[in-house]
Structures are given as C-alpha cells and as structure tokens.
C-alpha cells in the first residue's frame, strides 16, 4: 500500500545553514591557499559548476590539484572541506520539524548536489540519521521527480525548500498532487521574491510544527 503522504525536505538552507557552510569554507581555503590561489580555486569552482551544471566541490579540488601539482596546501583541500563541522550549522528547529513531519507522514530528504560532498554533508551533519537514512540526491530534483516518485510512491507529496524556482517548477508540473512549502531562509529567498509556486510560506523551518496533516495535503488552490 502506498503511504498517504511523503514529505520531502531540501537540505541546503532548509535544514542547515548552507550560507554559513560557504562562509566557513571560504575562510578555510583563504587561510590555506592565500588570496591569489584562493581566488583561482573559487574561479575553478564556478567553472566546474557551469560545465557540469551542478555544484561539485570535489571536482573543483581535483582540477585545482591538477593546476598546482606538488602544492602542499592543495593536497590539504579535501580534508579542509570534508572536515567542516556540519553538525554545528543545522538549524536549531530542524529536529522538531522533522519529528513533526514523521508524525504526519513519511519524511525524506530530497536534495540537489554532487555524489560525494553532498552525501557527506548530509551524513556528517546528522541530517541523514534524523530521516533514518531516507536520503535522495539528484542533480536536478524538479526534473527528476518521476524517478523520485518511483522510490517513494505516495498519494500526496509535500516539498519543503528554500528555492522559489523549485516550487514554481513542481507546481506547474504536478499541481494539486503536491503541496509546496517555501522556507524564507538563505540567499535564494532574499534574491527571488516570486513565491507564486508556493502553497505555504514559512519564515523558519520550525514553523512547520504548527501545520496539520490536512493543511499539508491540501494545496493552496483547494483552500
Ligand atoms: Mg536549498
């Protein structure tokens, strides 16, 4: 039997402060590489992002190491990035939100990202454990939703995410079979104010604890 309700959570700036992760990573690489090489490293990061159409820090590190073979600081980069204290940037209200979702339906992580750094972040932060390991990572979740549905069949879906663009795309394609919840955390929420794809808008992930199963199952158009 299909579970009635599957509640997907994005990770970056939804469950943890990814803007803080990047601020911390910038500090770490700047200290290790010095300004010139640090600038080059983040340039490569953007080049990799443009070529692969996904953020891929390990690939950027490998490219940087090819450009600076024998540079001790380059060899250290992987450890610097992967050793980040990810558990410290989980939003304080995240555990309560996930627990509440677990009482109303089946919560799972649905994150965009690469296949090495992103799973590490989700595991090392403690987020994977909060979901009992239910973690799906895709390059473009809104385009790969049909495969995600196969993994988690449900009568109704909820997507909790900080990117207005994701809500617009999912809403346009899935209409009333999905409830889209925008969380106004992080830089995407500040840069893109077109929330028309979102059925529910929350300022903080913790506000999810005030929503009922009926509210999650009923998209805005049906209210
Ligand atoms: Mg996000």
Q: Give the Å distance between the CA of 110 and the centre of ligand 1.
A: 10
Cα(158) to centroid(ligand 1), Å = 15
What is the side-by-side strand order in the sheet with 106-112? 135-138, 106-112, 5-9, 156-161, 178-183, 200-202
Cα–ligand 1 centroid distance for 64 (angstroms): 26
- In whole angstroms, give the CA distance from residue 64 to residue 219: 46
24-65: per-residue pLDDT in tens? 999 999 999 999 999 999 999 999 999 988 999 999 999 999
Domain 5-17+90-222, CATH class in plain words: alpha beta
- The sign of the torsion formed by the CA atoms of 187, 8, 173, 112 equals positive
In residues, how long is the chain?
223
**pTM of the entire predicted model:** 0.94
Closest CA to 18 of 116, 77, 90, 117: 90
Q: How far is the CA of 165 from the centre of ligand 1 (A)?
A: 11
pLDDT of residue 192: 86
Give the Å distance between the CA of 169 and the centre of ligand 1.
14
Top-ranked range on mean pLDDT: pick from 117-121, 141-145, 216-220 = 117-121
Q: Using CA atoms of 148, 149, 155, 158 in order, give the dihedral in degrees to the nearest 10.
A: 30
Separation of alpha carbons 178 and 217, rounded Å: 8
pLDDT in tens, 138-190: 999 989 999 999 999 999 999 999 999 999 999 999 999 999 999 999 888 88
């Amino acid at each position: 039997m299909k579970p009635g309700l599957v509640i997907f959570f994005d990770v970056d700036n939804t469950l943890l402060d990814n803007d803080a992760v990047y601020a911390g990573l910038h500090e770490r690489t700047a200290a290790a590489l010095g300004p010139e090489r640090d600038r080059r490293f983040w340039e490569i990061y953007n080049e990799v992002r443009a070529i692969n159409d996904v953020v891929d820090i390990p690939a950027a590190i490998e490219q940087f190491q090819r450009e600076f073979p024998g540079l001790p600081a380059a060899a250290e980069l992987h450890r610097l990035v992967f050793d980040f204290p990810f558990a410290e940037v989980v939003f304080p209200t995240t555990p309560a939100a996930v627990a509440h979702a677990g009482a109303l339906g089946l919560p799972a992580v649905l994150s965009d990202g690469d296949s090495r750094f992103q799973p590490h972040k989700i595991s090392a932060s403690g987020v994977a454990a909060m979901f009992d390991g239910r973690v799906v990572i895709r390059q473009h979740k809104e385009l790969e939703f049909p495969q995600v549905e196969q993994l988690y069949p449900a009568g109704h879906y909820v997507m909790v995410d900080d990117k207005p663009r994701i809500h617009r795309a999912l809403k346009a394609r899935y209409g009333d079979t999905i409830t889209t919840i925008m969380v106004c955390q992080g830089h995407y929420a500040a840069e893109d104010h077109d929330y028309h794809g979102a059925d529910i808008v929350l300022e903080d992930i913790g506000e999810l604890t005030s929503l009922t199963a009926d509210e999650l199952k009923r998209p805005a158009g049906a209210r």
